[in-house]
Chains A and B, each alone.
Chain A
Amino acid sequence: MTTVSTPATAPRPRKSPLAYLVRFQSLLGLVIVIIAGIVFSPRRHGHILFLQTDNIANIIRSISETGILALGMTFVIIAAGIDLSVGAVLGLCSVLTAQLLVNEGWGLWSTLPLVIVVGVLFGAVQGAISTKARIQAFIVTLAGLQAARGLSLIVSNNSFININYGQGPGSAPPAFAVLGERIGGVFPVATLVFLVLAAVSAFVLNNTRYGRYVFAVGGNEKAARLSGIPVNAVKISVYALTGFVSAIAGIVHAGQFAFGSPNDGTGYELNAIAAVVIGGTDLFGGAGSMVGTIAGAVMLGALANILQLNDISAAMQLLATGAIIVAAAALQTLVVSRGTR
């Protein structure tokens, strides 16, 4: 037995300062990145370029899609799962949107619901396969990634679909262009979609029974089952959720860039997972925070932006991102190992 004799009055478990550091690591990291951005930003005519309205709008626009994916990914990872298919499902939904609007002449009100249903079903099927056949989610969603890419090639007939706006065949409804616009010429509509979804996700995770179920299932599946929680349904539902956010992100992608390509969203799953991990969510499940994920996503976007402003190569951006992920994980490990001693 490794138990050490404990004095009669058990010591009050105090939260170590490190634990707080992890809890707010992404917010803290965000503040540091922003300060670094201001310090290292190139200046023109005495203006700090990093803080220019246009630049900030660019940052928040650039993170809208991976941010949306990361929201769903947070649910999956808290439930002790992983979803590698989100980037590919984004691509599938993006080409499907373009194909239906442009080449099939569907309207918005029939296209968007169908695309969303496709995304949700794709996720739910992956969740069901993983849960019922007891195959690791990593494997199932890796296969799902391939399958979704294959489907996008079929849907698009292996071609790039340009979205032209206008009336009649071969054009998409002009209303769809709104996703690429900026409110008041400043605030990107795509970011608005992200913010609304982020608020809903944070509420669901923290304030609903469903959110508690997700935490419990990820924390200890057997204990959750024994407590009467519908474990299988919860596990399938989180993959349906990533499917849902992937569909939304795919629609936003098509709208922002006015095209659909079978290669859309390649590698986005890794950025989404990075945002979640930097946000302090435990890859083993059972613990995590939506606010952390949001901050993590913004932080990654701001970081990339600073490096771009300073004309630092893409290679350096990748290296910096990698270093930050490792630092975030190391910080968590440090706290976890302290906590259990």
Chain B
Amino acid sequence: MTAPLLQVNGVQKRYGGVHALKGVDFDLAAGEVHVLLGENGAGKSTLMGVLSGAVSPDEGSVALDGRPVRFASPRDAHAAGIAMIPQELDLVPGLDIAANLFLGSEITHAGVLAHGTMRQRAQALLKSAGVALNASLPVASLRMGERQLVAIAKALSAQARILIMDEPTAALSAVEADHLFTVVRDLAARGVGIVYISHRLEEVGRIGDRVTVMRDGLVVGTAGPDAPQAALVRMLVGRPFSDLFPPRAGTLGAPILRLDHARFEPRHPRPGWQAPQDVSLIVHAGEIVGLTGLMGVGRTELLSALHGFGANGRWHGTVEVRGKPASLGTIAAARRAGIAYVTDDRRGTGLVLNHTVAQNAVMSTLRRVTPFGLVSRALERREVATALDTYDIRPRLPDAKVVNLSGGNQQKVVFAKELMNGPGLLLLDEPTRGVDVGAKAEIYRRLRALAGSGLGVLVASSELPELIGLCDRIVVMQAGRTVHEFGAGPAEDEVRRVSEGEVAAA
């Protein structure tokens, strides 16, 4: 048997007191897609740093084609044919594709840029990467998926034999991700070895030839592409999948939200915005209701139309909050009705990162701490202390800037900010997107606890196993309509069939 393309043996790395890699073995064959899974802090990034020359290991060896190599810098690794595509793509949006592909290695004639030559070669590179894009398009005009493909072409321009991709689908739509997979498979078929770092368990079977799971600086195990998700989760977090979900609640309260054949009419209709057409659903106090359906059926739009952010308009049909007709459709109306929305985009729409925990926590309840429009420091302090305690925000420092908190604690501040208002209904859109499995379990526990305290919770998610494990009921949508409702714990296949348009078994 010939030596594998890449072989890592017993690699260790310490940062001060942190033992980031505790003796890692890893190998990659030519023409293989090897998925690397791991939670934040598992050591994936450090390992990739070692492979791409950015990190020099304390112990252990790296071999290419069976010959030991030692990279002093990313440039060395690059010269050896290892290219890394970081999550934040290193493309210049203002330049066209050709200029990006030749950035730093421009072709010149007598010191003048040879635009024609570069464009031709760029076009050839794009073609060889299976990308149908015109090389003279500015990168700024491309969608995220297309940029990802350009980044791949750029890596290939350096004759890369090993490609390291760091969560390439994190910002892509399902269609874009599909296309990316095709390109990646095609590259592998031509003998490129690909290390594919991911958070998403469902990608393992679709793209990988093998999967290796890391935890706490160690390789926990390597499996084939058909490894069941439950087994992978157990490897990732060290406990079974079913343990991620808290037990369901027993008693239901009164209905908080009731929609009956309700239709939303946006004030400014937009193409591609699937307005709710005919929605019937009930959320009771104390329960978690899931909202599912294929991409673009209007899950997000339904939530928007309820909480008023990104949607402005009027509801027709029956819309009741706590048994009374409610007029929703603006942020102000939703707040009056006691509807809170926890955004998944905490940096973009959830928090003021440069402000303190205290400032953020009282942001939606400023009225309460400013009697007669004047700030009462005493009321403010009391409010913030309650928030810190109730949501267990760490460190317990009101004056810490939110930007310095961990992602999980930032998310807690978003919850605190919204829930300090004492809402009756909580809306969440993809609450665990981009979050690793351990943190997901924490979010599930918190949602169940909130429901237990009498809140109604409506969750939209594209991850079916999550909804099935978490929710008391699941509502399926198609083209802006609610078409079916499942009770607790339905079979995944059944829900999928209904989502895809088949009539549910009675």
Contacts and interface: CB of A to CB of B under 8 A. Distances in A.
Contact of B349 (A6, A222, A282): A222
Interface in A213-240: 213, 215-216, 219-220, 222-229
Interface in B38-59: 40-41, 45
Given A1-B167, A219-B352, A220-B352, A227 B375 contact: no
Interface in B283-326: 309
Interface residues of B, number: 44
Given A10-B395, A12-B395, A229-B363, A339 B348 contact: no
A3 interface: yes
Interface in B357-371: 359, 363-364, 366-367, 370
B363 A224 contact: yes
Most buried by A among B166, B370, B407: B370
Chain B binding surface, main DSSP class: mixed
A5 B17 CA distance: 12
Interface in A301-341: 339-340
Given A226-B343, A286-B352, A10 B406 contact: yes
A208 B377 CA distance: 11
A197 to B, nearest CB: 19
Given A1-B45, A10-B406, A228 B335 contact: yes
A210 interface: yes
Interface string A182-216: 00000000000000000000000011111111011
A48 to B, nearest CB: 42
Contacts of B373: 208-210
Given A7-B18, A216-B352, A226 B309 contact: yes
B353 interface: yes
A130 B406 CA distance: 36
Contact of B40 (A5, A212, A224): A5
B407 A227 contact: no
A37 B252 CA distance: 75
A155 interface: no
Given A13-B395, A219-B355, A229-B366, A340 B18 contact: no
A227 B367 CA distance: 11
B374 interface: yes
Contacts of A7: 17-18
Contacts of A13: 395, 397, 400-401, 404
A209 B373 CA distance: 5
Most buried by A among B20, B166, B373: B373
A270 interface: no
Given A1-B87, A286-B354, A286-B355, A209 B363 contact: no
Contacts of A216: 352, 355, 359, 363, 366
B394 A339 contact: no
A136 B355 CA distance: 24
Contacts of A129: none
A209 B374 contact: yes
A206 to B, nearest CB: 8
Most buried by B among A5, A7, A212, A226: A226
A34 B426 CA distance: 57
Contact of B331 (A2, A210, A225, A286): A225
Contacts of B18: 5, 7
B350 interface: yes
Contact of B375 (A5, A10, A207, A339): A207
A219 B349 contact: no
Nearest to B349: A222
Contacts of A1: 40, 45, 87, 166-167
A3 B352 contact: no
B278 to A, nearest CB: 27
Contacts of B363: 216, 223-224, 227, 229
Nearest to B406: A6
B488 interface: no
Contacts of B364: 226-229
A153 interface: no
Contacts of A206: 375
A287 interface: yes
A223 B359 contact: no
B349 A228 contact: no
Nearest to B216: A5
Contacts of B20: 5
B341 interface: yes
A5 B41 contact: yes
Interface string B390-408: 0000110100110111110
A209 B375 contact: yes
A10 B375 CA distance: 31
Contacts of B341: 226
A212 B352 contact: no
Contact of A223 (B352, B370, B401, B406): B352
B374 A208 contact: yes
Contacts of A212: 359, 366, 370, 375
A226 B406 contact: no
B432 to A, nearest CB: 15
Given A3-B40, A5-B18, A12-B397, A228 B331 contact: yes
Given A219-B354, A226-B341, A6 B331 contact: no
B301 to A, nearest CB: 16
Contacts of A225: 309, 331
Contacts of A10: 394-395, 405-406, 409
B331 A226 contact: yes
Most buried by A among B40, B343, B363, B405: B363
A7 B18 CA distance: 8
A211 B397 CA distance: 23
Contact of A228 (B332, B348, B394): B332
Interface in B145-198: 166-167
A1 B375 CA distance: 39
Interface string B4-46: 0000000000000110100000000000000000001100010
7 nearest A-B residue pairs (beta carbon): A5-B41, A219-B352, A209-B370, A227-B364, A222-B349, A220-B352, A227-B363
Given A209-B370, A286-B355, 13 more contacts: A3-B407, A13-B397, A13-B401, A209-B366, A209-B373, A216-B352, A219-B354, A220-B349, A225-B309, A226-B331, A227-B417, A286-B352, A286-B354
29 contacts: A1-B167, A3-B406, A5-B20, A6-B41, A6-B406, A7-B18, A13-B395, A13-B401, A13-B404, A209-B370, A209-B373, A212-B366, A212-B375, A213-B366, A216-B352, A216-B366, A222-B349, A223-B363, A224-B363, A226-B309, A226-B331, A226-B341, A226-B343, A226-B364, A229-B364, A286-B352, A286-B355, A287-B354, A339-B401
Interface of B: 17-18, 20, 40-41, 45, 87, 166-167, 309, 331-332, 335, 341, 343, 348-355, 359, 363-364, 366-367, 370, 373-375, 394-395, 397, 400-401, 403-407, 409, 417
